[in-house]
Amino acid sequence: MLDSMVSTSFRKRTIMKLVKSWQLYVLILPGLLYLCIFHYGPMIGLQIAFRNYTPSLGIFGSPWVGMKHFRYFLQSPQFTVLIYNTVSISVLFLIFSFPMPIILALMLNESYSVWFKKLIQNLTYIPHFVSVTVLVGMVISFTSPSIGIINKIVELCGGKPIDFMGKAQWFRPLYILSGIWQTTGWGSIIYLAALSGIDTQLHEAAEIDGANRLQRIWHINVPGILPTAIILFILTCGRVMNVGFEKVFLMQNALNLSTSEVISTYIYKTGLLGAQFSYTSAIGLFNSLINCFLLLIVNAVSRHISETSLF
């Protein structure tokens, strides 16, 4: 009897809170509808990864084959190459690009000149607004063996022109360096916001105690932005297997295919151009599960070591 009364009272209080804050729930409603319609709704189509999908039969009419497509992908000769290329490009990009916004933000935060700080911010933010197509066009032009400025510099130094886009070993460096140039400035914004939230009294107290600038950066600024960096690192690790399709596909050619063929480009060629919808859906689902697994692992490790995590 007592439990029933407590449960009834709890429901009444909950309903009263919902009614009292109905405006907030109305504001949340469009976002929830967007998630349900465009993110959760299409997940019904994931079942074609377990079927021999035929457009004429539809999703529910196509025959069920279970794990057939997953086994075929794991046993295919492309599996090792695709996983290696995808992981190597993504991990190398993470290693070299992730610290750059932090370093840039720390440097800008130490600048006393307002105009110089704004100039550097504008110069580093602009590449973010350059489209991927234009960016790849710039990379191809700069590395051209005949007219590229990089090869002109190589010739001035006594070297011979290098066909960067035609050599497989240069694909990863070009992809990573162009990505760093495009994303560093924009990525530093959130770290600058975190640095602005650090109490200035900490710096004043450290300066009175005799700490120099480098010591204050290392012992105050870095710990101050560390939780933000950890959260962004966890989110980035959850996208390790998602190497950007557009940029890779535009930089890809027959000569560098051995290092540039990644899961996303393989899915496009095999699934859309080759009409193997079920097979490539299985590959995409496998890719997403790996990302989810990595996210959970990195989040758990971070929670155990630093007590900072997404959940």
* 30-55 per-position pLDDT tens digit: 999 999 999 888 888 889 999 999 88
Top CATH class of 67-305 equals mainly alpha
Worst-scoring range by mean pLDDT, 80-84, 113-117, 138-142?
113-117
* 4 — pLDDT class (breaks 50, 70, 90): low
What distances in angstroms separate CA 69 from CA 58, 87, 247, 284, 301, one per listed residue? 18, 22, 28, 11, 32
What span, in angstroms and rounded, lies between the C-alpha atoms of 48 and 46?
A: 5
User: Angle, nearest 10°, between helix axes 277-305 and 222-237?
Assistant: 150
pLDDT given at position 2: 45
**Structure-token match 């959850």, residue found:** 238
Query: Which among 187, 224, 178, 175 has a CA at the least distance from the CA of 103?
Result: 187
* 3 — pLDDT class (breaks 50, 70, 90): low
The string of pLDDT tens digits covering residues 263-275 is: 999 999 999 888 8
Domain boundaries, the chain: 4-48, 67-305
What span, in angstroms and rounded, lies between the C-alpha atoms of 150 and 142?
A: 6
Query: Which among 68, 97, 95 has a CA at the least distance from the CA of 281?
Result: 68
pLDDT given at position 304: 86
How many Cβ atoms from other residues are within 10 Å of residue 190's Cβ? 16
Check: pTM over 0.75? Answer yes or no: yes
The 3-state DSSP class for residue 64 equals strand
What span, in angstroms and rounded, lies between the C-alpha atoms of 298 and 311?
A: 11
The string of pLDDT tens digits covering residues 104-113 is: 999 999 888 8
Query: What are the φ/ψ torsions at residue 282 (nearest 5 degrees)?
Result: -65, -40
The proportion of the chain whose per-residue pLDDT surpasses 70, expressed as a percent, equals: 97
Query: Which among 180, 150, 154, 183 has a CA at the least distance from the CA of 165?
Result: 150
